[in-house]
Structures are given as C-alpha cells and as structure tokens.
Amino acid sequence: MISIFQKFESEGILGINRRIGEFILPNNPREHYPLVDDKWKTAELTRQFHVPMPKHYGVVDTFGGIQKTKNLVKDHPGFVVKPANGGMGNGILVINKTEVLENGNVLFHKSDGRVLLEKEINHHISGILSGLYSLDGNSDTCILQERLECHPFFQEISFRGIPDIRVIVYLGYPVMAMLRLPTKESGGRANLHQGALGVGVNLLDGMLTHSVCNDKLIYVHPDTKQTLSGRVIPHWLSILEMSSRCYDMSGLGYLGVDIVLDERRGPLLLEMNARPGLGIQIANRMGLVKRLKLAERIVNSADGPKDRVHRILEELKRN
C-alpha cells in the first residue's frame, strides 16, 4: 500500500526515508542527541543559554526514591509527571489538583477528570523508571515539572490541557510551524499521536490556517466547537526567535522545537526533538522540501537567531 507521504513526495512532501537520509543524518551529529532526548539535560542546557523552560520541582531516579514524590510536590497542587527520555506524550500525567483527605490519604486529580491514588502515581513512576515509556527502551528517570496554565488566547479554543507550538528549524532557520491543541481524546497532551489537533500556521504572521485531527481535515475543534482559522498566535516573532536559538543550543541542523505560551512569562521551551514527525505538512497543506531548500539557499553562518528569522521571513514575503 502506498503511504500518504509516498503519494505526495512528488509534490514536495517530505517522506520518512528522505527526511532521515538527506536532512537528519548529515545535519544531526549523534553525540548531540542526548541533549534533546533527555529533558533533564535539555533543562541544564537552557539555563546556560538563558532560554526559559517550565520549572522542575525534582527528579525521581531510583525505585527507593519514589516514596519522596509526595514531598517533592507538596507545595504544588498542580504538577506534571514526565519520563525524561519519553516522546509523543507517552507516560505524561498532567495533575491539575492534589487533595489531602482527612485520613491523610492523597488524591491526585488528572486533567481528564480521573482521580489517582498515591499508590497509582507511584506505580506509574515505577513504570517510567523501568523504561516503559523511554525512547530507547532503557531505564529512565522521572521529572516532576510545574504544570503550566493555559494562556488566555487558547482558553476558548483548547480542551483542558496545554497547547504547544511545534516549529521545524533547519540550519537554524524556522521553516514550518503548527499549533497543537489537546482534545478530550489526547488527555491534556498536545501530541498528534494521542489524538490532539494539528493546526497549520502562516510562518509570516502566526495566523492559523487548516486543522487536522487523526489525519482528517476538520473545520472546528471537535470538543470546543470553535473555529480556529484566522486567529493569530501572540508573541509570534519571539516564538520564532526562540526556536531558532535552539539550533545554537542543541547543535542539531534538523530540529523540531516545542514551545508553550505562558501568560506572564511569554514563550517557554518545552522540549526539542531530533526526529520530528512529518504530520506538520498535512496541517499546513504544504510540503517541507521547498522550505528546506530555501533555508539551504539563504544560510549564512554569521547570522544569529534574530537575523535568521528576519532573513527567512523576508524571503517568504518575496515569494
């Protein structure tokens, strides 16, 4: 059977093999992968480069340490449990509220409305440590992270969780972007694989274009019933500049950057991906190849993040 990507390759849609052979392998040195595959290492890197990220309340890295989870989050009723080496939203639990009962038992309220007991959270963390959700299948560590609040721009269009903005950055130049909105199905996570919505974004001004959910074109958010196209993402230029800075930070030439918007702090880096998915092309109804070739034509090693954003936007305006 011919895949949707093979069918459209002739129209400039980047397929999986070409993505790896022509763009990822030559531009992403293997020794840099741990910087992005491990979210704990990414956090250290962002401190050096002064790139803001959500706060980390602590890390659980031994089975014996699981018991201390309750203490690490005791001052933070909302938090996120996350495998350091995870991907595609797997293993992420978004806890909206912690409730301490009179008998001392603790209940954790998830963003999808379900409630977990302390022993269930601990069991989940032990799964993370065993490597159940890790990208390479090896044992992992568990990050306890600040739970972000939805920016007002997203409040009426998103269902419960936190949307993120995925930007593909090639040779330091942002080339394509997509907004991802959590749905009821995706359980507070903005990953397309979990059933989140992908919305194409006009790179020039941050205006939303087409939407896809589970690979089908849709016209309103399936849960909030809101129309999405025509809305403009706030802080657009800062989002592009932050994504471009991630190239200097990671040393990866082909990169997927996930950014979230915080009402008070503006754009925050959530994570970077060394092998970003290709679904962004469906949401934008546009192939990546032309944009990647454009970046190759205009690349200038003297450019910093601001210059790179400026340069590619000027090129896009001209075409």
Ligand X SMILES: Nc1ncnc2c1ncn2[C@@H]1O[C@H](COP(=O)(O)OP(=O)(O)O)[C@@H](O)[C@H]1O
Chosen from Mg ion, ligand X, none, partner binding at 231 (C-beta under 5 to 8 Å by type): none
**Residue (14 or 165) nearer to Mg ion, CB:** 165
Site membership for ligand X, residue 42 (CB under 6 A)? no
HEC profile of the chain: CCCHHHHHHHHCCCCHHHHHHHHHHHHCCHHHHHHHHCHHHHHHHHHHCCCCCCCEEEEECCHHHHHHHHHHCCCCCCEEEEECCCCCCCCCEEEEEEEECCCCCEEEEECCCCEEEHHHHHHHHHHHHHCCCCCCCCCCCEEEEECCCCCHHHHCCCCCCCCEEEEEEECCEEEEEEEEECCCCCCCCCCHHHCCEEEEECCCCCEEEEEEECCEEECECCCCCCECCCCECCCHHHHHHHHHHHHHHHCCCEEEEEEEEECCCEEEEEEEECCCCCCHHHHHCCCCHHHHHHHHHHCCCCCCHHHHHHHHHHHHHHC
Site membership for ligand X, residue 267 (CB under 6 A)? no
Cα–Cα distance measured from residue 150 to residue 30, given in angstroms and rounded to the nearest whole number: 35
**Residue (149 or 248) nearer to ligand X, CB:** 149
With contacts defined by CB under 6 A, how many residues of the chain interact with ligand X? 23
Q: Given candidates 19, 124, 189, 235, which one binds ligand X under the rule CB under 6 A? A: 189
- Least spacing, CB of residue 85 vs ligand X, in Å: 9
Q: Given candidates 15, 87, 172, 206, which one binds ligand X under the rule CB under 6 A? A: 87
- Least spacing, CB of residue 71 vs ligand X, in Å: 19
Site membership for ligand X, residue 258 (CB under 6 A)? yes
Give the residue at shortest CB distance from ligand X. 190
**Residue (189 or 308) nearer to ligand X, CB:** 189
Site membership for Mg ion, residue 38 (CB under 5 A)? no
Q: Given candidates 120, 146, 185, 315, which one binds ligand X under the rule CB under 6 A? A: 146
Site membership for Mg ion, residue 258 (CB under 5 A)? yes
**Residue (86 or 200) nearer to ligand X, CB:** 86
Q: Given candidates 46, 69, 141, 191, which one binds ligand X under the rule CB under 6 A? A: 191
Site membership for ligand X, residue 187 (CB under 6 A)? no
Q: Given candidates 73, 116, 148, 269, which one binds ligand X under the rule CB under 6 A? A: 148
Give the residue at shortest CB distance from Mg ion. 258
